[in-house]
Amino acid sequence: MIHYIIRRCLYAVPLLLGVNVLTFVLFFVVNSPDDMARMQLGQKHVTEQAVQNWKHQHGYDRPLLWNDAKSGLERITDTIFYRKSVGLFLFDFGISDSGRNIGADIGQRMWPSLALAIPSLLVGLMVNITVALLMVLFRSTYLEFGSIVLCVILMSISSLFYIIGGQFLIGKLLKLVPISGYDTGLEAIKFLILPVLISVIAGIGSGARWYRTLFLEEVEKDYVRTARAKGLSEPRVLFKHVLNNAMIPILTGVVVILPLLFMGSLIMESFFSIPGLGSYTIDAINRQDFAIVRSMVFLGSALYILGLLLTDISYTLVDPRVRLS
C-alpha cells in the first residue's frame, strides 16, 4: 500500500501543475496586471506611475509566462507564473495583493467553514440514508411512490429558494434563530442552526434517491434472501445487512467530499455572512485578488486529490477483498 500511496502522490504533481497553469491563464485572460493595479488602488483617476509602482511592489511587472529579455532558465523563472507558483507546492501561499497573509487568513477562516460543513454533512447523511432505507422498506407501495415524487420536487427547487425562504420564514417571521451573522464559541450555534437545516433539507431529494438506488440493488442479492430465510425481520435485514454491504459506494461519495468541507460553501457563507473560506474566495474574486484566488483553487485541488486517495484506502478497510497495488 505504501508504494501505491507514493505513486498516487507523484501523480498529483503534474495534476496540480496543470490546474495551476489553467487558473493562471484563465485569470489573466480576463484581467491584466494593469486592471488588477487599478482595482487595488481603488481610485478613479489612477496615474500610470502609480500603476507601475503597484505592479513593481507586487511582482506583476514581469512577463506572464516567458521572459524574452533573459537567457537560459531565467526565461522561465523570471516570470509572474514561476514567481507566484513555486511557493504553492510547498503550501506557502504568500501575501495577497491587498497585503494580507493568506496562510494566516486560511487558518483563521477554516473553522467557521468546518463548523458549518461538518454538521451539514453528518446530519444530511443520516437523514438521507434513513429516508432511503424507509423508502426501500415500503417499496412498491403508495408511500414509496409519494416519497419519490416528493424527492423529485425537492430536487427541482433551486437552493436559493431554500435559503431565502428559510431566512424569511424561520428567521424573520418566526424569529427562532438569527437571519445571518456569526459569533465565536458556543454563541456560534444559534447562527449555524438555520444554514445547517437548509443544507439538509435541500439535499434530501437527490441524496435519498441516490441511496435508495444503492439499497435496491442490494435487496435482491442472495445474502439478503438468506437473511430473510433465517427469519430476520425486514427492518433488521435492511438496517444491518443491506446497509453494511452498501458502505463502499456510500464511502465513495462521503470520503471524496471530506477534504472539500474545508473549503467552505460559497453560497451559504455569502448569504448567512459566515466568515469562512467560501466567502473569503467570493470576496477575492470580487476584488480581483489573484493571489487568493490562485491559492484557494490550488488548495481545493490538492484536497480533492487527497480525498480520492482516502477513498481508495477506505475501500481496503470496508472490504478485505480489495487490495491496493
pLDDT, tens digit (0-9, with 9 covering 90-100), for 214-252? 999 888 888 888 988 888 888 888 888 888 888 878 877
- DSSP for 108-155 reads HHHHHHHHHHHHHHHHHHHHHHHHHHHHHHTTTSHHHHHHHHHHHHHH
Q: Are 219 and 238 in contact (CB under 8 A)?
A: yes
Burial class (CB within 10 angstroms; exposed 0-12, middle 13-18, buried 19+) of 242: buried
| Cell numbers found for residue 246 | 452498501
Average pLDDT, the chain: 86
Residue 246 is given by DSSP the state T
272-297 pLDDT per residue, tens: 989 988 888 888 888 878 888 888 88
Orientation of helix 48-58 relative to helix 33-41, angle to 10°: 100
pLDDT computed for residue 267 by the predictor: 83
Rounded distance, CA 255 to CA 122, Å? 12
Q: Which range (188-197, 256-265, 276-285) has the least confidence?
A: 256-265
pTM recorded for the entire structure:
0.80
Q: Percent of the chain having pLDDT more than 70? A: 96
Residue 65 is given by DSSP the state S
pLDDT computed for residue 320 by the predictor: 67
Output the CA–CA distances (angstroms, integers) from residue 321 to 190, 217, 243, 253, 309, in the order listed: 45, 20, 18, 20, 18
